[in-house]
């Protein structure tokens, strides 16, 4: 082929690169491995992840739920897996209809009117929601209330730092764990009130009450949901009056995978549709009146609006949105509630039983879904590392990781995959270790 196009050597292909810029040595990266060697190598490294092999009660924004086998089968179909953004609708109807169903399911679960085709994850979705609130209200202050996932707040901080947005925090109420009854900072300069429910401590917030306060101040209410599974049981944020709802969709059929890829859900009211970030798929018809789907309202997007776009996002989380869609449709109307109820039941059994153990208590009074904070008799990090070492159980997250002032608190998450046996082993472990170190 080289000769066909009049070249002599591969080197000639790069003639337009100045000689002195061309690499004259081989890259200092490893030599090629065969499949056999490669797999053996990764298996060795995987074996080095002790935490992946045991019963776990870790949640805090990434959840272990059962994933129906068909999810991975479907997302592995070459036609979904090796296609890209559906720029050519005539040969992308599979992806487009899936996204349309995804948008619909997100609207149904969040109780909103319109949802986009996905964001990178929950944390960036929250940051984009804050930026959108500023665009919608033309106000520049945002009030984040109560226990919001600390990493989500960090991301919001990064995004708003150059956007001229002032971010205020309202601490959670220490006895309930929820947002306090009256919220400081909320005024006519406030673009949005941001709340997470269930919040980082697992406490369910009174979203309806917060919506009222926000709306009274002419601000939007942004509700963040890190445990999307809660939507199967809890009142939808939309029904409670939220203006923008964002969620982390990982709970819907997506493996933990050390933190990603996950998928951000983003939904709002019809009237704000043209302010939404990211891609939107809409219904369209061809000359013969056949229904199809297309990327629409593109005038919001970077490839057309450049610096005036509603966001810089281009590639989103297509395949993960597909996984979530397969999950939501497989579980369906009945299953999504069943799982949510099992989570709530198992978590409530566990919290009840832990609170009965000498030296352990539940510091917060608010109702919870499948996560709750436990106040232990001593340093939680040590307690948990002993639990891991001696009982081979991940007992949860020591809050000191994010809240140095709460050394003895830890966050426990229980889902449908935690069997009674695992839970009882956790209870015994906590009791024995606390006792032995007392």
Partner 1 sequence: MRSADITKVTSHISHNEALIFERSQTGRIGYRLPPLDVDETAIDEIVPKKFQRDDDLEGLPEVSEVDVIRHFTRMSTWNYSIDLGMYPLGSCTMKYNSRLNEKVARIPGFANLHPLAHEKEAQGALQIIYELQHHLAEITGLPGVSLQPAAGAHGEMTGVMIIRAYIDARDGEGASANRRTMLIPDSAHGTNPASAHLSGFSVKTIRSTAEGLTDLAHLREICSHGDVAGLMLTNPNTLGLFERNIQEICQIVHDAGGLVYMDGANMNALVGIARPGDMGVDVIHLNLHKTFSTPHGGGGPGCGPCCSTAELEPFLPVPRIVKSETDVSAGGGATFRVDFNYPQSIGRVKAFFGNYGMMLRALAYIQTHGNDGLREATEAAVLNSRYIAHELASDYEKPFDAPSMHEVVFTDKRQSRKGVHTLDIAKRLIDYGFHPMTIYFPLIVQGAMLIEPTESVGHQELDQFVAAMRAIAREAVDDPELVLNAPHSTRIGRLDEAAAARKPVLRWKPKQAASAG
User: What is the contact surface with ligand PLP in residues (CB under 6 A)?
Assistant: 314-315
Residue 55 tokens, joined: 């019963």
Q: Which of 8, 82, 174, 436 binds partner 1 (CB under 8 A)?
A: 82
Q: Kindly tell me which of 73 and 435 has the beta carbon lying closer to its own copies.
A: 73
The residue range among 22-30, 211-219, 356-364, 371-379 that interacts with partner 1, by the rule CB under 8 A, is 22-30
Q: Parallel, antiparallel, or unpaired: how do β-strands 190-196 and 141-145 relate?
A: parallel
Distance (Å, whole) CA 336 – CA 138: 38
Strands, sheet with 141-145, edge to edge from the N-terminal-most edge strand: 114-115, 264-268, 244-248, 220-225, 190-196, 141-145, 166-170
Segment interacting with partner 1 (CB under 8 A) among 136-144, 175-183, 216-224, 234-242:
234-242
- Residue 417 touching its own copies (CB under 8 A): yes
Question: Based on CB atoms, which residue is closest to partner 1, 22 or 435?
Answer: 22
Closer residue to partner 1 (CB): 69 or 188: 69
Of 387, 397, 394, 400, nearest to 433 by C-alpha is: 387
CB of 187 to partner 1, least distance (A): 24
- Give the interface segment with partner 1, choosing from 138-146, 173-181, 188-196, 294-302 (CB under 8 A): 294-302
Read off the tokens for 341. 């109820």
Quick one: 97 or 140, whose CB is closer to partner 1?
97
Site for partner 1 in 380-399 (CB under 8 A): 385, 388, 394, 397
Q: How many residues bind its own copies (CB under 8 A)?
A: 11
**Residue whose CB is less far from its own copies, 68 or 218:** 68
Shortest Å distance, C-beta 314 to ligand PLP: 3
The answer to the question of residue 76 lying near its own copies (CB under 8 A) is yes
**226, HSE (Cβ side, Cα atoms, 13 Å):** 29
Q: Is 375 exposed, middle or buried (0-12, 13-18, 19+ CB in 10 A)?
A: middle
Maximum Cα–Cα distance across the chain = 84
Query: Judged by CB under 8 A, which stretch of 68-76, 187-195, 356-364, 425-433 contacts partner 1?
Result: 68-76
The site string for partner 1 over 139-178 (x = CB under 8 A, - otherwise) reads: ----------x-xx-xx-xxx-xxxx--------------
Which residues, in sequence order, are CB contacts of 210 under 8 Å at separation 6+?
145, 179, 183, 193, 195, 221
- 3-state SS, residue 126: helix
If we measure between CA atoms, which residue out of 388, 353, 348 comes closest to residue 372? 348
Query: How is residue 409 written in tokens?
Result: 């608190």
Chain residues binding its own copies by CB under 8 A are 35-36, 66, 68-69, 73, 76-78, 416-417
């Amino acid at each position: 082929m080289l000769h066909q196009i009049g070249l002599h050597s591969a080197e000639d292909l790069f003639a337009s690169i100045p000689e002195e810029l061309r690499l004259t040595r081989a890259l200092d990266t490893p030599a090629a491995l065969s499949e056999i060697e490669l797999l053996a190598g990764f298996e060795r490294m995987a074996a080095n992840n002790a935490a992946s092999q045991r019963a776990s009660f870790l949640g805090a924004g990434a959840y272990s739920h059962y994933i129906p086998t068909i999810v991975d089968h479907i997302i592995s179909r070459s036609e979904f897996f090796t296609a890209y953004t559906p720029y050519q609708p005539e040969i992308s109807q599979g992806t487009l209809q899936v996204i349309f169903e995804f948008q619909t399911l997100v609207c149904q679960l969040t109780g909103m009117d319109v949802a986009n085709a996905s964001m990178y994850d929950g944390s960036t979705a929250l940051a984009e929601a804050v930026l959108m609130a500023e665009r919608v209200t033309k106000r520049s202050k945002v009030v984040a209330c109560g226990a919001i996932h600390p990493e989500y707040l960090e991301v919001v901080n990064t995004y708003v730092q150059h956007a001229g947005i002032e971010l205020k925090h309202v601490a959670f109420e220490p006895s309930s764990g929820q947002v306090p009854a009256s919220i400081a900072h909320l005024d006519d300069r406030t673009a949005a009130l941001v709340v997470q429910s269930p919040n980082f401590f697992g406490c369910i917030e009174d979203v309806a009450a917060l919506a009222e306060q926000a709306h009274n101040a002419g601000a939007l209410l942004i509700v963040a949901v890190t445990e999307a599974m809660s939507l199967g049981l809890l009142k939808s944020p939309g029904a409670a009056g939220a203006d923008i709802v964002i969620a982390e969709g990982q709970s819907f059929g997506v493996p933990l995978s050390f933190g990603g890829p996950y998928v951000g859900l983003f939904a709002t009211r019809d009237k704000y549709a043209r302010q939404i970030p990211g891609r939107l798929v809409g219904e369209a018809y061809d000359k013969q009146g056949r229904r199809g789907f297309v990327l629409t309202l593109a005038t919001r997007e970077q490839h057309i609006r450049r610096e005036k776009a509603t966001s810089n996002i281009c590639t989103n989380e297509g395949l993960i949105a597909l996984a979530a869609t397969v999950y939501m449709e497989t579980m369906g109307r009945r299953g999504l509630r069943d799982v949510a109820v099992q989570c709530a039941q198992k978590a409530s059994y566990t919290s009840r039983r832990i609170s009965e153990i000498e030296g352990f208590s539940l510091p917060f009074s608010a109702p919870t879904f499948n996560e709750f904070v436990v106040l232990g008799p001593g340093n939680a990090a040590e307690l948990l590392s002993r639990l891991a070492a001696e009982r081979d159980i991940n007992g949860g997250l020591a809050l000191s990781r994010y809240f140095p002032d709460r050394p003895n608190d830890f966050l426990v998450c229980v889902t449908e995959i935690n069997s009674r046996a695992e839970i009882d082993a956790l209870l015994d472990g906590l009791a024995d270790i606390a006792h032995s170190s007392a």
